[in-house]
């Protein structure tokens, strides 16, 4: 593998296993090394009447697996290298890391399920980040073979939204069928974008209003001055004085 390919991803640490795993798998697939890491290409067994071809195949496998091991080691933060001490194959490294950083036990499942049930979006929080966190938990549960009913997911997502989305929530619930979680994700983002645009329009209107009022007052004042000026030119036909009309005399 080109070292630059590994350097483009963040090295594995205690907090980024899910992202690291996805990016590392993509790199290994691209370099044709994933088959060694995922166990689909296994080393041929040594037999008594082994021929030269089998020996060559094993040597080639060892060489390719060593390269895959090197790629994995280079992508791990130095502080975490102790976790793979003693591993002798790329497959063993991958499974060791998975066992350490991606627990599939009851406690992990309970934590993710509680996150889904209790997650609430705070006022002013970025809706995209909120949804990303929500579906990240869903994806991790799916990896652990915990499949949640789509309608239940949609309801959990709806009720994780703040009170500003109450009308939106009621509109969705009044339908004959709930949208799929993915469709609901899109609708929530669209609703958020509309709300942002409306807020910008209101803010712009509030910013313009003082200037509009000032201009109106200035215009009114100028009009009043002009009227006074015109009046000063008037001559009363009744008394002959200047400054008013006969009707006001």
Rounded to 10 deg, the angle between the 127-143 and 150-158 helix axes is 150
* pLDDT recorded at residue 232: 54
Is residue 248 situated within a structural domain? Answer: no
Same domain membership, residue 174 and residue 83:
no
* pLDDT recorded at residue 197: 82
* pLDDT recorded at residue 103: 78
Is residue 212 situated within a structural domain? Answer: no
DSSP for 77-137, written as a single string: -GGGGGGGTT--SHHHHHHHHHHHHS--SHHHHHHHHHHHHH--PPTT--HHHHHHHHHHH
- Which residues, 6 or more positions from 220, have their beta carbon under 8 angstroms from its beta carbon? none
* pLDDT recorded at residue 71: 94
User: How far is 24 from 42, CA to CA, in rounded Å?
Assistant: 20
* pLDDT recorded at residue 227: 55
Q: Last residue of a domain, which of 34, 67, 102?
A: 102
Domain of residue 67: give its range. Answer: 16-102
Is residue 224 situated within a structural domain? Answer: no
* pLDDT recorded at residue 244: 60
Q: Where are the beta strands (DSSP E) in 205-246?
A: none
Our count of domains for the chain comes to 2
Straight-line distance from the first to the last Cα atom of the chain, in angstroms, rounded to the nearest whole number: 103
Low-confidence stretches of the chain (pLDDT beneath 70) = 1-5, 46-53, 198-249
Q: Last residue of a domain, which of 102, 123, 147?
A: 102
Same domain membership, residue 79 and residue 24:
yes
* pLDDT recorded at residue 151: 96
Q: Last residue of a domain, which of 51, 78, 102?
A: 102
């Amino acid at each position: 593998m080109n070292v630059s390919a590994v350097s483009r991803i963040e090295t594995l640490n205690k907090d980024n296993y899910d992202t690291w795993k996805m990016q590392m798998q993509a790199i290994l697939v691209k370099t044709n090394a994933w088959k060694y890491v995922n166990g689909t290409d296994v080393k041929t067994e040594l037999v008594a009447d082994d021929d030269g071809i089998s020996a060559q195949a094993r040597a080639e496998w060892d060489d390719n697996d060593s390269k895959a091991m090197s790629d994995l080691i280079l992508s791990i933060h130095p502080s975490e290298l102790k976790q793979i001490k003693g591993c002798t194959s790329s497959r063993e490294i991958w499974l060791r890391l998975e066992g350490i950083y991606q627990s599939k036990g009851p406690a992990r499942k309970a934590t993710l399920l509680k996150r889904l049930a209790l997650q609430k979006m705070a006022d002013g929080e970025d809706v995209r980040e909120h949804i990303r966190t929500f579906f990240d938990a869903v994806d991790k549960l799916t990896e652990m073979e915990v499949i949640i009913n789509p309608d239940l997911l949609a309801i959990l997502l709806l009720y994780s939204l703040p009170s500003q989305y109450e009308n939106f929530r009621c509109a969705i619930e009044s339908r004959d069928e709930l949208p799929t979680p993915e469709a609901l994700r899109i609708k929530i983002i669209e609703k958020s974008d509309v709300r942002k645009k409306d807020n910008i329009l209101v803010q712009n209107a509030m910013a313009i209003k003082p200037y509009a009022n000032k201009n109106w007052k200035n215009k009114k004042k100028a009009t009043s001055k002009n009227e006074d000026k015109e009046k000063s030119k008037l001559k009363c036909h009744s008394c002959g004085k200047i400054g008013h009309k006969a009707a006001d005399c």
